[in-house]
Amino acid sequence: MTPDNTKLRLLLPDTTPGAVPLVLAVVLTALWVWLHRDRFRPFTRPGILAAVILRATVGFAALSAWVETVQHIVVLATPLPLPLPCLLGAAGLELVHWLYSVELQSVPTRAGRILVGLRAALVLLLALMLCQPILIRSVERKIDRHVAVLLDDSASMRVSDGKLPARDCLRLAEAAGVADVTRPVAFDRLTDDIRDARQQLQSVSDSLAPLAGAAPETLAGQMNQVKTAAAVVDRVLETVRRVRTATGAAQSAKAPEINDALHRRLAPMVKTLQEEADSRLPEARKHLDTAAAAKDAGQIAATLRQALDALAQTVTALQPVEADLAACDAELDQALYAALPAETRQAVDGIAAAPRFDLAVKTLTADHRDAAGSRAGSLLQRLTDDYGVRAYTFAATPAETSVDKLARGSAPDAAAESDTARNSSTDLTAALQKVMNDIPSDQLAGVLLLSDGRHNGRTAPDEIVRRLGKLKVPVCTVLFGNASHPPLDAAIANVDAPDLIYEGDRFAAHVDVKVEGVAGIEIPVQLISDGKIVDSQTVKVDSEVGRQQVVLADTPGTSGFHEYKIVIPPQPGEVSVTNNEYRLPVAVTRDKTQVLLIDRRPRWEFRYLKNLFAGRDSSVRLQYVLLHPDRTDDQPVPPAVGASVSRSAEACEATALPVGAEEWLKFDVIILGDVDPKELGTGTQETLTRFVSERGGMLVAIAGTAFMPHAYAGMPLTDLLPVTFNRVSRPLTGGPEDSYRFVLTQEGGEHVVMQLSGNAEESQRVWNALPAMYWRHPILDTKPGASVLAYACPVDPPAFLKSAGDNEVPSEGTLNNRRRFERANALVVAQHYAAGRILFSAVDQSWRLRYRSGDTYHHRFWGQILRWGTADKLLYGSGGVRIGTDKARYQPREPVRVRVRLATPDCRPIAGANVTAIILTGDRQPVARRKLAGASAATGLYETTVPDLAEGTYKVEIETDANTGNAPLPTAGFAVARDLSAETTWLAPDRELPGRIATATGGVIVAPPRIDDVLSKFGPPSLVQNERRQYDLWNSWLLLLAIAGVAIAEWALRKKVSLP
């Protein structure tokens, strides 16, 4: 039972004053005591019974009155009906009195009365416990609030903004507390006030305009809107009067900076503001009051139109005032700057040369002046006077810093310049999370963020900003940097280049170049190899902030590791040159993908694949075998030449299958078409199983009408294929349906094999554009663990296959039906099998990807298949020993994965060997030595990881006790190159993110000169919170001790007077 619903009345109504139950309880208690006196003792049995009933009734009433009295102090939370404890208490008291009358004959009167008192007290305490009294008190708790100060000390805050206009330098000097830089009038603030006033009036006019022409019956319910508009007009009127006063004071001021030209410009503004404040705005206010009080719809509409006319005239009149105030601001800045002493002017000019971080510290700790021109102390001092302040610096990670040190104007200990891991990114999410972890939400008054607004951490701050908004914790940003005059900087923003190419191929790097702070020049971008410029492009800079892409290319001469550098020569006045150069190592290998293509007849799928791999794809060395080629009667049968990787690149046509298992196992990918299983034989099928499971190769099986896969049921190849099917002894010239659509599954849309474009939407569009197909090989189901990448969708699909709407979530039943259908009608299925991979295609029409697009998408599709199938290929070595890394280019501190595969001369894996990898620098200095662990005994694969390698080029050598025949131990290569950091690429401030944060949390975004504006956003320095505290009296030790004490005292007294 909750305390709120246990205040029950037993005798009196709820409206009874609190003193009445108390008086009633006292009277009934006195009556109950009087009824127990000796003189009120009947002698007849009926009389005795009536007396008992009367006394019990009075006792029950007295206890009920006391219960009602007590409920003004405590809550009775008993689950029992409240009359029951009262009834039990009354009955218990009557029993106590009866025992007293019986024992009175054998105990002294005084002892008997004490026994009665103790027993009555015990009964009342037990009845009280049954009522379960709870004391609830409201306690006020003062909460002192804190402001968190976040100082961004990332790399972009360590740059200066270079040469700024004099006006911007004056503003920064004023914010940083440079002596003798104080404007007599803050025209910029007055400009903002008039702009806000004009916008508010325009908003009011827009909201009232529909009412002026509304139907009479709807106007009655819109009067609150009119009253709201009147309140806005009052605020605007106050603003206009304040600006009028300030401009009038400026007009009459004798400051030397306010010259005759300014006086002449101020005069008409003062007159306009005077007219608006004295006439037009009060007139509009009067019309709104009349409209709000009117009852007649016609009168309401008429007065609203008059108010709208007056407001429109005011909005029109304030627009030139706003422009003139801005012009006055610019003229005053010029006059003030010209009047500065030489030493002060030099200090003002030097403000722009200060790093943003140092400027942020000065802005936070410098003395500011109030509206009257008096010194008001620094913002940090005013914050610490009113709030608790906790200061943090942050970049990639946040760290708390000393407020006292910050208050003395000393920059907190920031990240070292060499600590690129910390200052090479800005993680605002982590900083805000640190604040919320350190300061309880009810004590957090706000967050003051001093930053350039850049965030490039892994997690967007949207979620934590929403939490701060719900808690009403404002995040106020002081934005450093000048977006209209960004610092001069040219940078390499992004590089898209392969880390591995094949010997003889052209290396191409797509380079995004960013240029800020300069326009109308040309900047060269160079590709350098071995100290020589091998390619160069020129970027024409048309605007102060721009991004262009150039392509730099070269053809490396030999295989091995080549290190290129992309360089932008430093520009005069550039604030940072660390982002002008990027090292770009690339591995050049002659080890191309060895592909074996086998088919029975020259069907279209075979022809297009042969042409693709034999001539179009330079990364592939092809051997193809057509078991039954088309020949004329007079054409002689060519000699049997087995397919082999040892044949020359030009001799790609073979007339026979590879001879011996070793030749099969030397290929990387085998594409098996519609081949008769009798021509393969059981032994070859077993070799194919070894090829996949032990060698780690990829088998691609393409269905056909004659044999693949239905003729292989029950044969060794069946275990390899990722689908199940029926054995059929005849050709399957007809498909399960007349026509169908080729549709990707959800997994297929994300799988690398089906990616035809770098853009997922474009890739999906290409697949959706395929024409209807008319044949496919039927299957029974897809094996567990296999991934269905595409399925045959009926032209008229069932409901569970149709796409759900944007806001519709498919049911679990719909999803299950869809998955079952996709697996039973799969077209493309991929599966990992031991060390290798399998791809099955139930359709032999991938050449349809050439429809209206040439061989672009057909080539890309099969290129993706080969990349997926050879992703684990080890590039270096031959025969029984191969070595490689999972990438050729790594970022600093990224773990390098080294893998080695050991095999006997007949390609059988070697397990249990001791293998050690030695990591050497480019000049062959060892930096790490790692023992490799056996990853898979079935494949002879060993691997290890090497962490924390510095930037540079490395080689990997191995030592092993395995017997690999005469095969030499190969050497692998890789490089560690720094990642391009967005932190040092874009140096212009970003206002968009801080603006969104301010909107979501109720904060504000200001420039350094307006830093004082944030104070009004943080609310009161302390809060008084009322807390309800509950004390369970019935379950307290005090009550238990009282019951125990009374019971023990009663027992001791009984023993003393010799009662049993």
The tens digit of pLDDT for each residue in 493-513 reads 888 888 888 877 888 999 999
What's the whole-number mean pLDDT along residues 5-20?
A: 62
Looking at residue 2, what is its pLDDT?
42
pLDDT confidence of residue 808: 59
Listed range (146-150, 364-368, 641-645, 937-941) with the worst mean pLDDT: 937-941
Higher pLDDT, residue 418 or 224: 224
Spatial CB neighbours of 624, under 8 Å, sequence gap ≥ 6: 596, 597, 598, 606, 610, 613, 614, 643, 652, 653, 654
pLDDT at residue number 14: 63
Q: DSSP secondary structure string, 346-387?
A: HHHHHHTTS-HHHHHHHHHHSEEE-TTS-EEEEHHHHHHHHS
Buried b (16+ CB within 10 A) or exposed e, 240-251: bbebbebbbebb
* Arithmetic mean of pLDDT, 22-50: 77
Looking at residue 136, its pLDDT comes to: 87
pLDDT at 573: 82
At 5, is the pLDDT very low, low, confident or very high (cuts 50, 70, 90)?
very low
* pLDDT tens per residue, range 61-75: 888 888 888 888 888
pLDDT (0 to 100) of residue 255: 66
Question: What's the pLDDT score for residue 171?
Answer: 79
Tens of pLDDT along 145-164? 999 999 999 888 888 887 77
DSSP lists the bridge partners of residue 354 as none
Lowest mean pLDDT among 297-306, 354-363, 447-456, 812-821: 297-306
Across 637-646, average pLDDT:
89
d(C-alpha 373, C-alpha 383), whole Å = 20
Amino acid 680: pLDDT:
92
Q: What's the half-sphere exposure (Cβ side, CA atoms, 13 Å) at 120? A: 15
Q: Give the chain's length.
A: 1060
**For range 519-546, the mean pLDDT:** 86
pLDDT at 781: 94
Lowest average pLDDT, out of 263-277, 390-404, 437-451, goes to 263-277
Widest Cα–Cα separation across the chain: 148
Find the mean pLDDT for residues 443-453.
Answer: 94
Residue pair 640/627 in contact by the 8 Å Cβ criterion:
no
Complete DSSP assignment for 184-217: SS-HHHHHHHHHHHHHHHHHHHHHHHHHHTS-HH
pLDDT of res. 76: 87
d(CA 167, CA 189): 15
Residues 6+ positions from 270 with CB-CB distance below 8 Å = 244, 247, 248, 251
User: Residue 391 in contact with residue 126, Cβ under 8 Å?
Assistant: no
Q: How far apart are CA 634 and CA 403, in angstroms?
A: 98
Check pLDDT > 60 for residue 413: no
Which is higher by pLDDT, 744 or 547?
744
pLDDT for res 1 = 40
| Prediction pTM value | 0.66
Rg from Cα positions in the chain: 45
Residue with the two structure tokens 């050729």: 888
Query: What domains are there in the chain, each with its CATH number?
Result: 3-139+1038-1056 (no CATH), 146-160+377-483+987-1019 (3.40.50.410), 182-339 (1.20.1420), 489-589 (2.60.40.10), 593-869 (3.40.50.880), 876-976 (2.60.40.1930)
Per-residue confidence band for 259, with pLDDT thresholds at 50, 70 and 90: confident
- Under the banding of pLDDT at 50, 70 and 90, the label for residue 418 is very low
φ/ψ (deg, to 5) at 953 = -105, 140
Residue 45 predicted with pLDDT over 90: no
**Using CA atoms, how far apart are residues 425 and 415, in angstroms rounded to an integer?**
12
| Confidence label for 804 from pLDDT (cuts 50, 70 and 90) | low
Measure the CA–CA gap between 988 and 517, rounded to whole angstroms: 9
> Please, are residues 1005 and 477 in contact by the beta-carbon 8 Å criterion?
yes
pLDDT in the model for residue 415:
43
Task: Tell me the C-alpha distance between 776 and 933, whole Å.
Answer: 45
pLDDT at 214 over 70: no
* DSSP notation for 456-486: -SSS-THHHHHHHHHTT--EEEEE-S-SSSP
pLDDT number for residue 419: 52
What's the CA gap between 891 and 442, in Å, rounded? 42
What average pLDDT does this structure show over 254-262? 71
